[in-house]
Structure 1
Amino acid sequence: MNTKSPSFTQQLHAAWASQGSMLCVGFDPDPKRIPASLAGKPEPIFEFCKAIADATADLVCAFKPQIAYFASQGAETQLKKLISHLKTQYPYIPVILDAKRGDIGSTAEHYAMEAFERYGADAVTVNPYMGFDSIEPYLRYSQKGVIVLCRTSNPGGSDLQFLKNSSTGEPLYLEVAKLAASKWNASGQLGLVVGATFPEEIAKVRNLVGDMPLLIPGIGAQGGDIAATVKAGSIAQKLGTGMIINSSRAILYASSGEDFAQAARKVAQTTRDALNAAAK
């Protein structure tokens, strides 16, 4: 299906090296918070995200648009235009479509088409609750990344993720990590979502999955500790790699004025530098 090269993980390793960054900027465009200066534009969501992408592109290892923020506004065309802009202007920066899809195989085929063919994303987030057959259709796109929810940063994540396997005594999120690092990783392009609000769990996952990429939300507005996160998720002897550490709202809404893009860049640069300092 997809024979393009390089693969998602190759893109990611190249970005870590060339950009000198573990920071990912997430696009969660809330129309209520988009600067008034863009209100009269025909495509305000696109213009908002494009301006921030252009202001921060030299500071990141990835971009992560959240599909719900676009779809709720009927702005799928703007999302497609944004990803096209990112891939055209910054082809060396992988784009992760944050969709958290999770459905039976026949439906997952269409979600995979949506992410990789309609939008052209390099990777997509998926929910593993329905098991391997709901993930397998994404793996048919052998060059694309599939990032599986493991230990999420939201407070309610513990409701299910901490339930213990009666045979092994391990919590569910570690069982997911084991499967992702072994028989699920048929394409070699899997990653895991592990929240920055639980650094001890990040360390446990890292110990299980080796150098598998970890997408780590939860710093910035959610309050995750940068130093603890970097320490927990680092790969031995490969500091500054292995993690895609996302910040969305803290960067996007650094200013509500006409200087929003410059303010976003300032916060992104401060965050990038803090992440790099913690990796030393």
Structure 2
Amino acid sequence: MRYRERLQARIAATGSRLCVGLDPRPGDGGIEAVPDFLKRVVDETWQHAAAFKPNMAYFEAMGLRGIEILEKLLGEMPSEVPVILDAKRSDIGETQKYYAHSYFGHWKVDAVTLNPFLGYDSIEPFLGWEGKGIYLLAVTSNAGSADFQRQTLADGRAVFELVTALGERAKGLPTDVGYVVGLTNAAGVLAKIPDAPLLVPGLGAQGGDLAALAAAARTAPDVINVSRGILYADDGNSYRDRAISWATRISQAYEEAVA
């Protein structure tokens, strides 16, 4: 089964487009409290999640112990839920080949985020993996996306359209190609994004609006990431209740868009 098909099936089975971001920050318990924290989050949210998204930066910040925690976490994830590793790697092809083997061959994640700005040959090592997916950074959720990604070229295209052209070029290859499109900067962008899977950050703490995404009537299995709003909200609710709340909010936005 292709990655896109697996993700679509998961969305259909759960009625949820929620991607739960796993961004562990060692607190009072220190690094050794992180594994139990992540286990509680996963155990309480997986039934309501379309995908999980561990962010490499948070694990790398804990040094070797963080990588050990990530490896153990990945080995214990519920098999029903696709895992998107948020790595944003970018390098020349030979180095990317080893990144691809690390993530897809060794850790066996389902998808990974990539920075495509080194060009097509930098994503090629990821394109020959059956059942896997990549998400190319197209329009990120930060204000700095205006510096390059949303700039207009002489031929009228935006820079992010050069990114989507890479994905179109990869059609027919074993790995599915999707895009990262930040909800905070989606206005005027979605109409120019192919109907490929989107990983959409920027909803929770960043305050992105779902209306434009829901109204775009896309058929691809898009997932909307919430990290801080589930892991660190100071509301007295459980991780489970927060996941249900966010999943419901997303679903309702889609239902209202087609009503």
| TM-score normalised per structure 2 | 0.91
Instruction: Tell me the residue number matched to 2:229.
Output: 250
Instruction: Tell me the residue number matched to 1:64.
Output: 53
- Residue pairs, 1:3-152, within 5 angstroms: 6-32=1-27, 36=28, 39=29, 43-74=32-63, 75-86=66-77, 90-152=78-140
> Are 1:219 and 2:207 counterparts?
no
Does the 8 Å contact 1:23/1:275 carry over to 2?
yes
> Are 1:199 and 2:174 counterparts?
no
Does the 8 Å contact 2:3/2:175 carry over to 1?
no
Q: What SS does structure 2 have at the residue aligned with 1:279?
A: helix
How far apart, in 2, do the equivalents of 1:160 and 1:199 lie? 15
Does the 8 Å contact 2:51/2:83 carry over to 1?
yes
> Are 1:184 and 2:170 counterparts?
yes
Residue segments in structure 2 that go unaligned for 5+ positions in a row = none
How far apart, in 2, do the equivalents of 1:227 and 1:56 lie? 24
Q: What SS does structure 2 have at the residue aligned with 1:222?
A: coil
How far apart, in 2, do the equivalents of 1:162 and 1:273 lie? 31
> In the comparison of the two structures, how many residue pairs are matched?
252
Does the 8 Å contact 1:254/1:264 carry over to 2?
no
Paired AA for residue 76 in structure 1: I
Does the 8 Å contact 2:126/2:175 carry over to 1?
no
RMSD between superposed Cα atoms in Å: 1.8
Deviation at 1:159, TM superposition (A): 0.5
1:186-228 alpha-carbon deviations (Å, 9 max, x no partner): 335111000000232442234xx12x11100000011101233
> Are 1:174 and 2:174 counterparts?
no
How far apart, in 2, do the equivalents of 1:198 and 1:255 lie? 26
Q: What SS does structure 2 have at the residue aligned with 1:224?
A: coil
Deviation at 1:242, TM superposition (A): 2.5
User: Which of 235, 240, 243 is 1:268 aligned to?
Assistant: 243
How far apart, in 2, do the equivalents of 1:161 and 1:67 lie? 23
How far apart, in 2, do the equivalents of 1:7 and 1:138 lie? 14
Residue segments in structure 1 that go unaligned for 5+ positions in a row = 1-5
Does the 8 Å contact 1:196/1:202 carry over to 2?
no
How far apart, in 2, do the equivalents of 1:23 and 1:163 lie? 30
1:154-196 alpha-carbon deviations (Å, 9 max, x no partner): 1111101122232x2111012212331x213333511100000
Instruction: Tell me the residue number matched to 1:228.
Output: 212
Does the 8 Å contact 1:255/1:263 carry over to 2?
no
| TM-score normalised per structure 1 | 0.84
1:202–1:272 Cα change, 3 Å: farther
1:58–1:202 Cα change, 3 Å: farther
